Structure 1
Amino acid sequence: MKQQKKERESNLKVWTMTAGVLIAVLGMFAIARVPKNDELNDIRSEIKTVEKQIVQEKNSQTENSAYKQKFDVVSAEKEARDNFLKVISAIYTKRKFSETKQEKELNDFEKVFPGKEGKRFIKDIGDSYGYLKNKSTNVYFGDLTNVTHTKIIVITLVESTNKKEITYGWEFDYNLKTQKINSFKEINIERN
């Protein structure tokens, strides 16, 4: 009996020491995982910066919204659509003329799309040759939340001189107020 009592006490001591060591290790691990004040201050600072950016963007969106201003969105979109249809349809069709006539035509296109990005767009696509006809050009508008940065996608289907159909597409960041291209990129259009 005395022997069993000693074994129980010994086992109890072992379990108590094991539990104590385990609690001590877990306590040290928990203390090590507590973030330092510098880290918390950095995170708080980042959160405040992001919150300010969100407020600024909301204010910008509200200020440039077509709904806030008395701005005729329908007329502006129609004018933009007409500009893209006029220029792209004229470029991607059969064109044979002298260099001076080509230069005049490119200058006319640059008047339709004024500004640095408009000139760059005309320079990139304006010297396109080797097409019989423009089969179709379509202009699509994205959601209108900011009239100074409207997403426009233009897709044109042309027939080349070897009778193949080719599709080209561009995505524009367009200013409906000034009718200027803010930026553009060519997009890949896959046809089945």
Structure 2
Amino acid sequence: MTSRVTLISPAMNGGLRQARFDDGRTPLDDSGTAQARAAAGTLPSAADVLISPSLRCRETAEALGLRGSAVPELAGLEMNRWRGRTLDEVTAVEPESVNRWLTDPGCAPHGGESVRDFCDRVARWLTAAQDLDGRTLAVVEPEVVRAAVVHALGMPVAAFWRLDVAPLTATELSGRSGRWNLRLGRPLAAPHTG
């Protein structure tokens, strides 16, 4: 049995534009909503549709015409006291903490989840998803995509920071017998007419 998981990153919003740690309540901006609506209908059908619990992921799924359930295991990296702040704001006040966080995957100076713990959480979900039959579509935070790729390719957790995930892209994983294949970041685009 081959499992297929398509991870869709959320459309653009103000938090993504400002490199702001998501607080889960920031809506899509007008251009993000328009781009997601234009891409509706471009995704393959799926047995399951899963959604990170953040507002931007729920709104992206809705604009894409997807109905699914929120899955707490697919929530973004818990940033605790840094939530809602920009990386520049935090760096100005806590430069050593930011440096440690970016260089030590086991460090969580914000009081939330370490990158290592987060990657382990996503890896557990992806391992369980490999037992699902058919295709799963999941609208998830960009860091969930990063963590899934790190796990699927057996990369060191430090590689998490070396992966960029563009808004409104699909990263496709297909797996069988404990092994995943990867197709990176296909942009979701409106179908061509004419």
Return the structure number with greater relative CO, CA threshold 8 A, min gap 6.
Answer: 2
Larger Rg: 1 or 2?
Answer: 1
What TM-score does the superposition give when structure 2 sets the normalisation length? 0.23
- The answer to which structure has the higher helix fraction is 1
